[in-house]
Amino acid sequence: MKLVTLLLALCFSGATSLRICSFNVQIFGEAKGSKREVMTLLHKIVSRCDIMLLMEIRDSKDVAIHALMAKLNSFRKMNEFNLIISERLGRSMSKEQYAFIYRKNVVTVIDFYQYKDQQDGDVDVFSREPFIVWFKSLNTEVKDFVIIPQHTVPEDAVREIDELYDVYLEVRQKWNTENIIFMGDFNAGCSYVPKKYWKNIRLRTNPEFVWLLGDKTDTTVRSKTSCAYDRIVLHGKDLISSVIPHSATVFDFMRAYRLTEEQALEVSDHYPVEFQLNKSNNFARKTSRRQDGRNLE
């Protein structure tokens, strides 16, 4: 009886939140996609999340990302994942893509667009411009939100993070929404963003933006580094108030899956970061009634 109760509690706990994640997969292409053990671990990592932002996809043939999607959906006929992916971005020959993998029975995409940084009278700051997606959530307290991803060039991190404020202004005007999530590998730590430079970043100095992970949070896999590169920043009262307290965290997959550092680095040199949103009261009551019914059976 105790085991049944525990399983029901775990089921209810998972059903009463929406988990949003961000992960720099570090050169995710054909070579990494061909490694069975790595793909198995990526399947486990991604399937934990209702929305997963993946960065540093470098695969001109789109082989790796579609192999991952096939693996994710191979046993989930009633809980399938969808994919939406950006164009190839970057100033060098080595182009990257942003991708969002999301549960289609939990969220839907309202709209999306590729931000263009080369505007009249403005400097081309971003090397990999944000691929912006507006999601509708089917069961959470906050009904819709925009995710603005960013993978900065380390040497330009301060300028690129600051420029995200201009992206915010455009998105707010374009879609008339205040609920905005910035997330990704900002390279927002150690030597790339020294303490004295935070005052030059509007996303940090404006009190309307809430940073969920602190400057001392370590998002790196290597034991010899400790840097808060990966970040989550929120805007919008409804969105912020719906965040589950203390849910913002780093997912240490090395510890979770009992890997050596060498094995973990085969996956990435970054850990995913994540947070959770409360489900709506109506959904929680429906879920509770269904579980009570199973318990009575």
Query: ∠ CA(11), CA(14), CA(18), 5° rounding?
Result: 155
Compute φ and ψ for 70, nearest 5 degrees.
-60, -40
Instruction: Please tell me the distance from the alpha carbon of residue 71 to that of residue 83, in angstroms, as a whole number.
Output: 13
Pairing mode, if any, of strands 97-103 and 51-57? antiparallel
Phi, psi of 180 (to 5 degrees): -130, 135
Residues paired with 146 in a beta bridge? 134, 180
Q: Pull the structure tokens for residue 103.
A: 């549960």
DSSP state of 216: T
Give the Å distances, CA to CA, from 175 to 89, 178, 203, 225.
24, 9, 19, 40
Q: How many Cα neighbours within 13 Å face the side chain of 5?
A: 2
Residue 18's φ and ψ, nearest 5 degrees, are: -115, 120
Catalytic residues: 96, 151
d(CA 175, CA 173): 6
Residue type, 224: K
